[in-house]
């Protein structure tokens, strides 16, 4: 017999049926598919995913790396698993596990019975997983179109609080190699499932650099909430494009960095709302933060009540802003104007030259910092300055040095940022020594060298570089060139009018 609501889903009335959550009655989905209703992703996928044990079996059959696991039917089985995998031991419900519910940790054999009881006993269907000694949890949103085209969003880092997703950093601050391998695992995992849609692939990164699959959700996911503000196509639009058979949109980031913070219920009832509203008030004063409040009628501890996404030009910048947002007493926030350019020099004797770079950055309203960092006298300072610059939000480094000028090249060796070198004229050789020391870098480590003592051009070059992502700066640079031209034309006109003799002797 067909229920009346299922008749409404006949092929002629419903273009495509998708799910918002995998915990649905999969038998009904399968029946609908048999009746010709187009389900995306397929019921077979939902069936695999909603049973976490089945999910593990499926992925291990497809050679996806994942922590070892086994089904347990009684306490004896649990003990055997403990002997095999060691402790702590992860015990999980096969079904209806969500936001940390359905997981329990046994730290020793003695804790096994209470862990099993906490999960509702063996009748609920349990399995164990070998503890994954992860150093980071990563996630990848993967979209698959109806034509089986697959696009992956950037790898993110997820940080959990009591097993509930709390913070997501996009992109994950891991090496390119790890990003690539994480994306590969996610791609393969989704390829092994049937149907179109957006999938979230949760991964463990272990201390020895392994990527292990944790689990997959067949839908938009908390780890992809940041995409609403930070990516060209949000995971929600992407899911609709995928299931409706439209071409997939661009999943890449339009903002260099984003951080997502889940507003979790701190307290039951009114006092919880008061805390959340204070947080939201602080979030609203951060110019590049977006607040999402779900307007759930009831506040419960650890319940996801909303989220805040902050986008910015570097992870360091958005992390700073999040940190400030979480301080209850904070009344002002680090603005988006953390220094974008670092001007460094080997000695204060270089300052009379290097000040010209700062003057240009002032003129173009580019935030910068000025520091003395010597390659030869403060190598440790140089090391930590160069290797932390990107994380602090610095985007270009201008380094000036004279003589055997090592600072620009050494800094360039320690950062992936572009480094501009200013050869400062020292007492001997008219600065040629500085110039050659800076410009003649070996293959692999470039320094963008400007003319001897010409820190003005270093400032202008930094502005041009920043103009790559800031059209306002680019337009101001064009205007600067136009103004310079007009200055010269005025002089030319005066020479024309006055003649060269009175031009020279006014």
Q: For the segment 470-499, give every residue that binds a second copy (CB under 8 A).
A: 470-472, 474-482, 484
Question: For a second copy, which is the closer residue by CB, 207 or 442?
Answer: 442
Q: How far is the CB of 259 from a second copy (least distance, A)?
A: 13
Please tell me the distance from the alpha carbon of residue 87 to that of residue 269, in angstroms, as a whole number.
38
Instruction: Verify binding: residue 452, a second copy, rule CB under 8 A.
Output: yes
Question: For a second copy, which is the closer residue by CB, 314 or 338?
Answer: 314
Question: For a second copy, which is the closer residue by CB, 90 or 257?
Answer: 257
Site residues for a second copy, 35-64, by CB under 8 A, read: none
Site residues for a second copy, 365-394, by CB under 8 A, read: 390
Q: How far is the CB of 51 from a second copy (least distance, A)?
A: 36
Instruction: Verify binding: residue 400, a second copy, rule CB under 8 A.
Output: no
- Taking the CA atoms of 206, 212, 214 and 219 in sequence, report the sign of the dihedral they define: positive
Site residues for a second copy, 63-82, by CB under 8 A, read: none
Reduced 3-state DSSP string for 213-282: EEEEECCCCHHHCCHHHHECCCHHHHHHHHHHCCCCCCCCECCCEEEEEEEECCCCHHHHHHHHHHHHHH
Q: How far is the CB of 418 from a second copy (least distance, A)?
A: 4
For a second copy, the binding residue among 420, 424, 434, 437 (CB under 8 A) is: 420
Question: For a second copy, which is the closer residue by CB, 62 or 464?
Answer: 464
Question: For a second copy, which is the closer residue by CB, 254 or 494?
Answer: 254
Question: For a second copy, which is the closer residue by CB, 69 or 368?
Answer: 368
Q: How far is the CB of 83 from a second copy (least distance, A)?
A: 39
Site residues for a second copy, 178-207, by CB under 8 A, read: 179
Task: With residue 124 as reference, give the H or E element that holds it.
Answer: none
Question: For a second copy, which is the closer residue by CB, 303 or 307?
Answer: 307
Closest CA to 158 of 149, 148, 147, 171: 171
Closest CA to 126 of 92, 160, 83: 92
Instruction: Verify binding: residue 322, a second copy, rule CB under 8 A.
Output: no
328-336: which pairs have CB atoms within 8 A and are 24 or more residues apart?
328/278, 330/282, 333/282, 333/285, 333/286, 335/287, 336/287, 336/288, 336/312
Question: For a second copy, which is the closer residue by CB, 37 or 450?
Answer: 450
* The Cα angle at residue 27 between residues 24 and 32, in degrees rounded to 5: 95
Site residues for a second copy, 233-292, by CB under 8 A, read: 233, 237, 241, 246-250, 252-257, 284-285, 287-288, 290
Q: What is the largest CA-CA distance in the chain?
A: 107
Instruction: Verify binding: residue 464, a second copy, rule CB under 8 A.
Output: yes
Q: How far is the CB of 64 from a second copy (least distance, A)?
A: 24
Beta strand segments in 131-196, E = 134-144, 150-152, 156-161, 164-170
Q: How far is the CB of 3 from a second copy (least distance, A)?
A: 30
* The Cα angle at residue 309 between residues 390 and 291, in degrees rounded to 5: 150
44 CA to centre of own chain: 32
205 CA to centre of own chain: 15
């Amino acid at each position: 017999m067909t229920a009346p609501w299922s008749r409404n889903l006949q092929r002629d009335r419903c273009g495509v049926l998708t799910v918002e959550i995998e915990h649905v009655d999969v038998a009904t989905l399968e029946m609908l598919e048999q009746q010709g209703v187009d389900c995306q992703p397929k019921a077979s996928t939902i069936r695999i995913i909603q049973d976490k044990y089945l999910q593990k079996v499926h992925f291990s059959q497809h050679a996806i790396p994942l922590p070892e696991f086994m089904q347990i039917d009684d306490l004896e089985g649990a003990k055997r698993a403990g002997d095999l995998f060691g402790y702590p031991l992860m015990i999980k419900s096969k079904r209806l596990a969500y936001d940390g519910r359905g997981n329990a940790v046994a730290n020793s054999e003695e804790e096994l019975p209470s862990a099993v009881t906490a999960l509702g006993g063996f009748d609920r269907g349990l399995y164990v997983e070998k503890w994954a000694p992860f150093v980071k949890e990563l996630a990848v949103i993967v979209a698959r179109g109806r034509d089986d085209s697959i696009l992956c969003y950037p790898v993110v880092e997820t940080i959990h609080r009591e097993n509930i997703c709390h913070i997501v950093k996009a992109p994950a601050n891991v090496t390119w190699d790890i990003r690539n391998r994480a994306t590969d695992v996610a791609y393969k995992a989704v390829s092994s499932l049937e149907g179109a849609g957006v999938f979230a692939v949760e991964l463990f990164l272990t201390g020895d650099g392994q990527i292990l699959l944790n689990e997959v959700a067949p839908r938009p996911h908390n780890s992809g909430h940041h995409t609403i503000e930070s990516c060209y196509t949000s995971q929600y639009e992407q899911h609709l494009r995928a299931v409706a058979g439209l071409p997939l949109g661009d999943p890449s980031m339009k903002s260099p960095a984003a951080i997502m913070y889940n507003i979790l219920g701190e307290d039951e009832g009114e006092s919880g709302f008061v805390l959340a509203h204070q947080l939201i008030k602080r979030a609203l004063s951060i110019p590049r933060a977006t607040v999402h409040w779900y307007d759930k009628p009831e506040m419960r501890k650890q319940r996801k009540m909303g989220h805040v996404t902050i986008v910015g030009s570097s992870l360091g910048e958005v992390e700073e802003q999040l940190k400030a947002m979480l301080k209850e007493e904070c009344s002002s926030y680090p603005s988006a104007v953390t220094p974008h350019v670092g001007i460094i020099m080997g000695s204060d004797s270089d300052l009379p030259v290097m000040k010209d770079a700062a003057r240009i950055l002032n003129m173009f309203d580019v935030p910068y910092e000025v520091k003395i960092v010597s390659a030869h006298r403060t190598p440790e300072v140089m090391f930590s300055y160069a290797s932390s610059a990107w994380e602090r939000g610095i985007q270009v480094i201008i380094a000036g040095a004279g003589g055997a000028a090592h600072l620009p090249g050494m800094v360039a060796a320690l950062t992936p940022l572009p480094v501009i070198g200013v050869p400062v004229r020292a007492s001997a050789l008219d600065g040629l020594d500085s110039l050659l020391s800076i410009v003649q870098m070996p293959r692999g480590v470039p320094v963008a060298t400007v003319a001897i003592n010409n820190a003005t051009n270093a400032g202008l070059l930094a502005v041009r570089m920043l103009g790559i992502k800031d059209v306002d700066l680019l337009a101001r640079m064009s205007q600067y060139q136009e103004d310079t031209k007009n200055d010269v034309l005025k002089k030319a006109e005066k020479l024309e009018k006055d003649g060269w003799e009175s031009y020279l002797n006014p």
